[in-house]
Structure 1
Amino acid sequence: MRDYKLLIFDWDGTLVDSIGRIVMAMHQAADQRGMPRRSDEAVKGIIGLAMPEAIRTLYPELTTAEHVERFHASYSDCYLAIDRIPSAFFPGVEQSLASFLEQGYQLAVATGKSRRGLQRILDALGWQDYFDITRCADETASKPDPKMLHEILEHCGVPASQALMVGDASFDLLMAQRAAMDSVAVGYGAQTLTALSAYGPKLSINHFMELSAWLNQTVAEPLTEEIEHVG
């Protein structure tokens, strides 16, 4: 097993249980803009992209930047109304992150959220300095472009071979692939482990604390292989 120094996490659907709120806000925004609602699965399929790109993917008929921006504004208003109290962390996340810090890992976030959206949550948690660096889609290239990972690696002074990307979407794992970085797929967020298996994750998990066990080499190799094939 590689000696990882840097752990990079997606936010929505990986650390926090926000997928349902994102889907609801997208549906409400569609209603406000007089657009047809897309299916829950279609909305889940764009989570992780920068929001303008996500909207264009769901609604290619919005052909101008102005129309996309109006939809984006409606989505942001709807999401803020739903997420007045920030979404809860998935079980085991807070304990595991604290343990990773104690073990000396550098921690980072690579998210499709806007800087404003992520900062609102970090401020509410008092986590302004919790991560070594956070990168958001509106300040760099959208996933699956590896630019945000390259920026994180440069900031932390860590090579890609000693970093690990943890995410719940194909965009996360494909971004890691393009950065020559190992990845971990989580199956409790936007996409299934079956869908994510195509991107060659080193580990696939259904509970966040399985990551800590794997990093500490407390999970036997046969069990790891079994976890990887859970759908």
Structure 2
Amino acid sequence: MSSRHTDNKNLVVLDMAGTTVADGGLVERAFERAAETLGVEPGSADHTAKLQYVRDTMGESKISVFRHLFGTQELARRANSAFEEAYGELVDGGLVAPLPGAREAVDELRADGRTVVLTTGFARVTQNAILDALGWQDLADLTLCPADAGGRGRPYPDMVLAAFLRTGAVADVRQTVVVGDTAYDMLSGSRAGAGIVAGVLTGAHGRPALEEHGATHVLGSIAELPALLARRSGA
């Protein structure tokens, strides 16, 4: 079997919010609600500092973010539960949408024989709320959240490696393609040994941060991914 043919059987691991899903800043809005329930006063220096940390760590497992911000596991759990509830309410209110070309890109990738996995830093209940709102429960071959891969989430490589192990789609981890909008997406892909780690400019971080943290390619959006992979495979 030629390398060109096997390249066409990539495992493609895609982030959700900011990469395939436009959420209109809902992470920040949900965090603000969650922080207020724990006594963080809106407009305070503490609130500003915590919100900046949330922005800087976009892509990381949310429970890990809250553990850092609030210090104890109990407070982190309370914050995470409040965040999930607030985010779910915002999602139910119709405030998420597919990024332009995202569904079509996934459909094209799968039609070309590639296996597609959707990943997130959110908890499963939040991920499911987004998938349900978009009608995406059957869009990909597999969906993963941090708890499905040991709980650490990004920037660890765990979800990418779990996708590799669970799908059995490729024989070599270098045939894996990881795509995301954050520095942590790039770190998780490079740490997993993915052959392509592509940043997209539709989310949290810009080209410098993506490249600094391991991007092999930077795309305008997920809509450009099928063409990139087709060129790589010689299609």
Q: TM-score range by the shorter chain?
A: 0.7 to 0.9
Q: Secondary structure at the match of 1:108?
A: strand
2:224 is aligned, of 210, 222, 226, to: 210
- Counterpart-to-counterpart distance in 1, 2:62 and 2:16: 14
SS at match of 1:117: helix
Q: How does 1:16-165 map to 2 (within 5 A)?
A: 16-18=21-23, 20-35=25-40, 36-38=46-48, 41-57=52-68, 59=69, 62-84=70-92, 85=94, 87-140=96-149, 141-157=152-168, 158=170, 159-165=172-178
The Cα shift of 1:81 comes to 2.0
Checking the alignment, whether the CA contact within 8 Å between 1:44 and 1:191 is kept in structure 2 is: no
1:24 and 1:124, CA in 2 relative to 1: closer, same or farther beyond 3 A? closer
- Single out whichever of 113-122 and 99-108 deviates more from structure 2: 113-122
Per the TM alignment, residue 175 of structure 1 is displaced from its structure 2 partner at its CA by 0.9
What code does the residue aligned with 2:67 have?
Answer: R
**TM-score, structure 2 normalization:** 0.83
Determine helix, strand or coil for the equivalent of 1:9: strand
Which runs of 5 or more structure 2 residues have no equivalent in the other structure?
41-45
Identical counterparts, % of pairs: 28
Answer yes or no: is the 8 Å Cα contact 1:115–1:138 preserved in 2.
yes
For residues 37 and 177 of structure 1, the distance between their equivalents in structure 2, rounded to whole angstroms, comes to: 33
Within the alignment, does 1:170 sit opposite 2:178 as a pair? no
Aligned residues: 215
Q: Distance in 1 between matches of 2:84 and 2:204?
A: 19
Deviation at 1:215, TM superposition (A): 1.8
TM-score normalised to structure 1 length: 0.84
Q: 1:10 aligns with which of 15, 22, 27?
A: 15
For structure 1, which runs of at least 5 residues remain unmatched after alignment? 219-231
Kept after mapping to 2: 8 A contact 1:169/1:196? yes
Preserved CA contact (<8 Å) 1:86 1:121: no
